Structure 1
């Protein structure tokens, strides 16, 4: 698992407002507790409201709002595939699906979504 994905998963887990131990996070993410300790230190140093220490656990001090466009690559692929499927001519919601696909491509230009591509 890449570090960026792991950090995202840690933040998502901590958003539940409960205390999580490094051992628990390590098992869930398939890494060592030492890796979790380093990740938590790095996140705290960058200003994320992470609080805790080794042996006790970690928690977010305040609610963390992530932009709603934070999608994993698999989620984005599923969304685009679904919109293209619904956007086929015989579907009554085709126009709306294609319009939404253009909006997603505009909001996420780094994803390189080809709005003119046809469903394979």
Structure 2
């Protein structure tokens, strides 16, 4: 299981609203307690409402997940464009929110497929979420 899959598994486990100890999460996912601590910090950095601490446990305070979405190339291009516009907004909260949202989307996107010439289709590399 790679890190992205593990983070998704942790979110799925924490959705029950109960407190979960790092030791129990680590045993369930086959990693060390320290890995869980790092993963919980990463989830908090992504903006998930993770509460808790080492030695006590972790939980999510409120629902925050969207149902799975399937985006076509045009929808992804539109989303990328809107995030670029929001990132340039004069209100720094909106810009920061756009950057945070782009990071979450990048983490969830599969690796880009290559075309016959070995390049990724779609937007220029500096514009892509992935």
For the aligned pair, the TM-score class normalised by the smaller chain equals: 0.5 to 0.7
Following TM superposition, by how much is the alpha carbon of 1:61 offset from its aligned partner in structure 2, in angstroms? Answer: 1.4
TM-score between the two structures when normalised by the length of structure 2:
0.53
Q: Give distance in 2, aligned partners of 1:29 and 1:5.
A: 10
Q: Give distance in 2, aligned partners of 1:8 and 1:67.
A: 13
Following TM superposition, by how much is the alpha carbon of 1:18 offset from its aligned partner in structure 2, in angstroms? Answer: 0.4
Following TM superposition, by how much is the alpha carbon of 1:65 offset from its aligned partner in structure 2, in angstroms? Answer: 2.2
Following TM superposition, by how much is the alpha carbon of 1:21 offset from its aligned partner in structure 2, in angstroms? Answer: 0.4
The answer for unaligned runs of 5 or more in structure 2 is: 73-108, 114-130
The answer for unaligned runs of 5 or more in structure 1 is: 70-106, 113-120
Residue 60 of structure 1: aligned partner = 60
Name the SS for the 1:39 alignment partner.
helix
Structure exhibiting the larger radius of gyration computed from Cα positions: 1
Following TM superposition, by how much is the alpha carbon of 1:108 offset from its aligned partner in structure 2, in angstroms? Answer: 4.9
Residue 47 of structure 1: aligned partner = 47
Q: What CA RMSD, in Å, does the superposition of the two structures yield over aligned residues?
A: 1.8
Q: Give distance in 2, aligned partners of 1:68 and 1:46.
A: 18
Name the SS for the 1:18 alignment partner.
coil
1:60-99 mapped onto 2 (5 Å cutoff): 60-69=60-69
Residues 4-36 of structure 1: per-residue CA shift (max 9 Å, x gap): 000000000000010000001001100000000
Residue 28 of structure 1: aligned partner = 28
Following TM superposition, by how much is the alpha carbon of 1:62 offset from its aligned partner in structure 2, in angstroms? Answer: 1.1
Residue 84 of structure 1: aligned partner = none
**Structure 1 stretches of at least 4 aligned residues deviating more than 6 Å after TM superposition:** none
Residue 79 of structure 1: aligned partner = none
